[in-house]
Chain A
Amino acid sequence: MLGAEKLSDAYGGGDAEHWLAPAMNEDSPAPLPWTADEIFNYLRYGFDARHGIAAGPMVDVVQNLAKAREEDVRAIAVYIADRMRRPVRQAKSNDEANAFAQLQESAAVPGMGRDAIPARSGGVASDSGAAVFEGACATCHYSGSGLQSTKPVPLALTTSVNAPDPRNLIHVVQSGLWPASGERGAMMPGFAAELTDDQLVAVVSYVRERFSRQPPWHDVSQNVRAIRGTERR
């Protein structure tokens, strides 16, 4: 029936305004399983330290839920956590996922006094992606750097880096993350002016191959070109 729910795909994810709405069932790309408390953090504050930051269409959701009663938001979180079985793509244990994240955050920054660890093999990432990462991203996304107040969620734990397609990561790299005017919140500069399309492709491919154990993306280039020009600030 037109417009009817597909009950077989419940919580399977979908598309929202050219962003990927990630699956919340056993296909969830999150490397660590979501707990009810973490879903509550994400919905209530737009941020969870083990999963990432609400961006794109989810910013409006968080702003609207700020007006809801706290118990209601908690009830949604408990319900969703209960629906999510342990996803098939997740690491064998939380310790293992955290160890991988720690290794990738701390090891591989060429030019910062250590030997370069290349992106994991089998992908399309290039040396230019590594150089862009080092010059544009590593000052924050590197465990040996930065202040506690600027500590980002480890990239290897974020949903966007582990998602089945690169759209959400491209949006974030291109447009950055900006708190609503006058509000506190996570902040990341966008790189739409700093990087060309080819450089965006290179750095997004590099981040996927260095920080995710999922297969490399092969549709980064088409998606960068499709998303270019939609940046919002």
Chain B
Amino acid sequence: MIELNVNGRPQAVDADPATPLLYVLRDHLALNGAKFGCGLGQCGACTVMIDGKAAFSCVTPISALPGRKITTVEGLGTADNPGPLQQAFIDEQAAQCGYCIAGMIMRAQALLEANPSPTDDDIRRHMMPNLCRCGTHMRIVRAVQRAARTMKNVKNGAGVNVTTK
């Protein structure tokens, strides 16, 4: 058994230590947000956060994870109560087919936690490892900027309604 901390909850997982985190999230923990794209760390569809940093879950063996904090897109909010980035992606209609979006959101979350006021250049550089074949990159950049504004307003107590366009 390997002990993992996923979205703040301890989880004991019975799997080979070399199993990639992505398979455990999807097959053992029913957290299906992170997607299998390439399995080689080249597309970003599987991106989650490990200790606050964006990581490819398809090339991270679970043996590397005891004692570390894993956050998946499910940890940012729910369909009824989406987090700021999730809401911003909805408001900007940043998903087309949607396959890359959970990974995009998690990489963006890691950026905004480290840099609450990124420039468009910061966003492009940071998001570079994640691919979107539909070509919604411009909307994704806008969504990340929108979420950055929302998060700052919430922090400053402005009490904005995050769904307002």
Contact between chains at B18 and A134 (CB < 8 Å): yes
Asked whether B61 is an interface residue with its Cβ less than 8 Å from the other chain, the reply is yes
Question: Which residues of B, 2-58, contact A by the 8 Å Cβ criterion?
Answer: 16-20, 39-42, 50-51, 53-56, 58
- Interface size for A (C-beta < 8 A) is 26
B60 (CB) vs chain A CBs: closest residue: A194
Binary interface encoding of chain A residues 133-170 relative to chain B, with 1 for a CB under 8 A from any of its CBs, else 0: 01111011000001000100000000000000000000
A196 to B55 CA separation, bound complex (whole angstroms)? 12
With A132-B64, A134-B61, A146-B40: A193-B50 Cβ-Cβ less than 8 Å: yes
Binary interface encoding of chain A residues 177-218 relative to chain B, with 1 for a CB under 8 A from any of its CBs, else 0: 010010000011101111110010000000000000000000
A-B pairs with beta carbons under 8 A, tally: 68
Contact between chains at B40 and A136 (CB < 8 Å): no
With A111-B18, A187-B42, A189-B59: A135-B64 Cβ-Cβ less than 8 Å: yes
With A134-B18, A146-B40: A139-B129 Cβ-Cβ less than 8 Å: no
Contact between chains at A194 and B63 (CB < 8 Å): no
- Interface size for B (C-beta < 8 A) is 26
Query: Which A residues are in CB contact (< 8 Å) with B56?
Result: 189, 194
Contact between chains at B64 and A195 (CB < 8 Å): yes
Query: Which B residues are in CB contact (< 8 Å) with A123?
Result: none
Asked whether A233 is an interface residue with its Cβ less than 8 Å from the other chain, the reply is yes
Contact between chains at B42 and A189 (CB < 8 Å): yes
Binary interface encoding of chain B residues 104-147 relative to chain A, with 1 for a CB under 8 A from any of its CBs, else 0: 00000000000000000000010011000000000000000000
Asked whether A128 is an interface residue with its Cβ less than 8 Å from the other chain, the reply is yes
A193 (CB) vs chain B CBs: closest residue: B53
Query: Which B residues are in CB contact (< 8 Å) with A131?
Result: 17-18, 61, 63
Query: Which A residues are in CB contact (< 8 Å) with B54?
Result: 193
With A189-B56, A193-B50, A194-B60: A135-B17 Cβ-Cβ less than 8 Å: yes
Asked whether A110 is an interface residue with its Cβ less than 8 Å from the other chain, the reply is yes
A199 (CB) vs chain B CBs: closest residue: B64
Contact between chains at A150 and B50 (CB < 8 Å): no
With A111-B16, A194-B56: A189-B41 Cβ-Cβ less than 8 Å: yes
A113 to chain B, nearest CB (A): 12
A24 to chain B, nearest CB (A): 32
A135 touches which of B20, B53, B55, B125 (Cβ 8 Å):
B20
**28 A-B interface contacts by CB (under 8 A):** A111-B18, A131-B18, A132-B18, A132-B64, A134-B61, A135-B17, A135-B61, A135-B62, A135-B64, A136-B59, A136-B60, A139-B39, A139-B40, A139-B58, A139-B59, A140-B40, A150-B42, A181-B128, A189-B56, A189-B59, A189-B129, A193-B53, A194-B50, A194-B55, A194-B59, A196-B64, A196-B68, A233-B128
Query: 12 new A-B pairs (CB below 8 Å) besides A132-B63, A187-B42, A194-B64?
Result: A131-B18, A134-B18, A135-B17, A135-B64, A136-B59, A136-B61, A137-B59, A139-B39, A178-B128, A189-B56, A193-B53, A195-B64
